[in-house]
Amino acid sequence: MSAPTQNAKLLQWVQEVAAMTQPTAVVWCDGSQAEYDRMIQTTIDAGLATPLDQAKRPGGYLFRSDPSDVARVENRTYIASKSPEDAGPTNNWIDPEALKATMRGLYTGCMSGRTMYVIPFSMGPIGSPIAKIGVEISDSAYVVANMHIMTRVGTKVLEVLGKDGEFIPCLHSVGKPLAEGQSDNGQWPSAPVDHKYISHFPEERLIWSYGSGYGGNALLGKKCLALRIASAQARDEGWLAEHMLILKLTNPEGKSKFVAAAFPSACGKTNLAMLVPTVPGWKVETIGDDIAWMKFHSDGQLYAINPEAGFFGVAPGTSVKSNPNAMTTIAKNTIFTNVALTSDNDVWWEGIGFDPPAGDVIDWKGKVWDKKEPAAHPNARFTVPASQCPAAAAEWQDPAGVPISAILFGGRRPGTIPLVHEARSWNHGVFLGSIVGSEVTAAALDLKAGTVRRDPFAMLPFCGYHMGDYFQHWIDIGKTPGAKLPRIFCVNWFRKDAGGRWLWPGYGENSRVLKWIFEQCDGLDGSQETEIGIMPSAEAIGRPEGVSAEDMAELLTVDREGWRAEIADVHANHYPKFGSRMPAELWQELRELEARLAS
User: SS3 for 262?
Assistant: strand
Q: How far apart are CA 204 and CA 224, in angstroms?
A: 14
Q: How many CB atoms lie within 10 A of CB 75?
A: 8
Inter-residue contact 189 to 213 (CB < 8 Å)? yes
Q: Which of 490, 533, 547 is nearest to 513 (CA)?
A: 490
**Active-site hit among 267, 389, 463, 490:** 267
Q: How many CB atoms lie within 10 A of CB 194?
A: 8
> Quick one: which H or E segment has residue 26?
strand 25-28
Closest CA to 519 of 504, 534, 501: 534
Residues whose CB is less than 8 angstroms from the CB of residue 105 and which lie 6 or more positions away in sequence, other chains included: none
Q: Active site includes 267?
A: yes
**What DSSP string runs through 512-576?**
HHHHHHHHHHTT-S-EEE-SSSEEE-HHHH-PPTT--HHHHHHHTS--HHHHHHHHHHIIIIIGG
Interhelix angle 467-477/230-237, rounded to 10 degrees, is 40
Angular region, 500: left φ>0, alpha ψ -120 to 50, beta rest: left
User: Which residues have C-beta within 8 Å of that of residue 470, sequence separation ≥ 6?
Assistant: 231, 235, 456, 457, 459, 463
Catalytic positions, please?
267
